[in-house]
Amino acid sequence: MSNIYFLLNTLLLLFFTLNKQSLVLTREALAELWNVNDAEIPNLLAIEEQLIIVDRTLQLLLESYESSFGGTYIDVKKEKVLINTIDFSKVPIILNSPEIKLNNYSRFLDFVPAERSFTKLKYNLIKISDLIKKYRPSEIQCYIDMKLNNVVIGYTNKYRNRKFIKSAEKYNPNFIQQRNSDSEDEKPKAFQAQIASRDIIPKIFNGDGITTLEYDCSIGFPARNNDLIYIVTAAHCYKENKLYYHIPWNSNIVYTQLGQMVKSEHMYEYDFGLIKIDENATKLISARIRNTDSEYAELNVEGGRIITSHGAHVCKSGLTTHVTCGYAVGLNAIVTYINSKIVENLVLYGKDNSIISKGGDSGGSVFSYLQTLSNVSLIGIHIGRSIDLSTYLPLDLILSKGEIELVKTPL
């Protein structure tokens, strides 16, 4: 009888996936971000890739003129790289440089007036970073917002952080009081999860859920160190001596036992953890990202990349909110947790007035699309949120500090 119950549950889950057109929003998450039809996405992806190439070239040129310019950001809909400009007398130098002139990149450039040079922005960020380490404020986000041409300090509790805020005021950052939210720490499930029959064993995708039967997180990606296979997720999902199990989207059925998270030095500093996979689970792990609310139900991961442009799209796949997308808002951000833990070198991403992640998404895959909606580059794992802005830990940092390699093909 129990086997019949589990079979029916699985069939219902499959029915949901196959009939997604009538059950979920018809537009892709990236179309929602750009407010376009799905058919327009490939063209905009090509435009964005071109802008990123131009921006990368431009950033190298501007390194010699950091006191004259205040950073760059891209706008895909405008098809422009916008350059914050303090000294317009230097604009002809940039436009006449061989890198810009020979490639006809000037058609993509828009020089906009700005108050703060990149030299000033970097100086202020360093000084405010020092204050964060001195006062150890709680639930702070600090980053350079290129569109605002200023350092931004986001906070939820002004009184608790009053000494830090008062000290930081002399650097004239933009203070943004964020709306209070539930903690990103995963909540106990509202129902008692049930262990599935061993006769029904679904594949395990990036972006699927993991659970200790008390707390839920999401799968980032599989990785290896020699012959050892791991699942990468957020370190704050760590529960000592607890086993983790696979839980697919839209399910209260717990499936394969995965293993335990390995305790290590990098867990506290960088907020990523490694679950050592039990041998029986290894053959079920896919290197693809789940996207079963879409026509493109499984996303092929074609390696990794580093996001270098403010304004580039960033998407994530997680247990709670599935696939959602935002813009890269703050690169090399500094974030503090409710316990005043400080994590650096993060990336903030989001969409204006939209919540694109919730509790349970932590550890999920963060990626960017390539030239089609079926192929992506992995860029990190999701580790937190504060209402409008979500946070990811970059892939290159995870691989280097964890001494692991990305698994790009089935195990």
Max CA pair span of the chain: 79
Bridge partners (DSSP) listed for residue 258: none
Protein fold of 181-411: Thrombin, subunit H (2.40.10)
With pLDDT > 70 as the criterion, what percentage of the chain qualifies? 87
Alpha carbons within 13 angstroms on the beta-carbon side of residue 237 total 35
pLDDT in tens, 114-137: 999 999 999 999 999 999 999 999
d(CA 19, CA 314): 27
148: region left, alpha or beta (phi > 0 left; psi from -120 to 50 alpha): alpha
* Model confidence at 276: pLDDT above 90: yes
- Other C-beta atoms closer than 10 Å to the C-beta of 197 total 17
| Confidence class for position 8, pLDDT limits 50, 70, 90 | very low
Contact 6, 253 (CB under 8 A): yes
Predicted structure pTM score: 0.88
* Model confidence at 91: pLDDT above 70: yes
Helix (H, G, I), strand (E, B) or coil at 17: helix
d(CA 79, CA 68): 23
Check residue 313 and report its DSSP letter: E
d(CA 210, CA 283): 17
Residue 181: its pLDDT value, please? Answer: 52
Tokens representing residue 308 in the block: 């270098």
* Model confidence at 48: pLDDT above 60: yes
d(CA 266, CA 292): 33
* Model confidence at 21: pLDDT above 80: no
Residue 27: its pLDDT value, please? Answer: 86
d(CA 116, CA 66): 10
Helix (H, G, I), strand (E, B) or coil at 88: helix
* Environment class of 130 (CB within 10 Å of its CB; exposed 0-12, middle 13-18, buried 19+): exposed
pLDDT in tens, 356-393: 899 999 999 999 999 999 999 999 999 988 767 999 99
Q: Where are the domains of the chain?
A: 36-113, 181-411
pLDDT in tens, 213-225: 888 999 999 999 9
pLDDT in tens, 236-255: 999 988 999 999 999 888 88
Do the strands 253-254 and 194-195 form a parallel or antiparallel pair, or are they unpaired? Answer: parallel
Which helix (H) or strand (E) is 347 found in, with range?
A: strand 342-350
Residue 1: its pLDDT value, please? Answer: 47
CA-derived radius of gyration, the chain: 22
Output the DSSP codes for 162-226: HHHHHHHGGG--EEEEPPP---SSPPBPSS--EEPPTT----EEET-EEE-SSBEEE--EEEEET
Bridge partners (DSSP) listed for residue 365: 317, 381
d(CA 320, CA 101): 47
- In the numeric block, the tokens 């499984």 are attached to 298
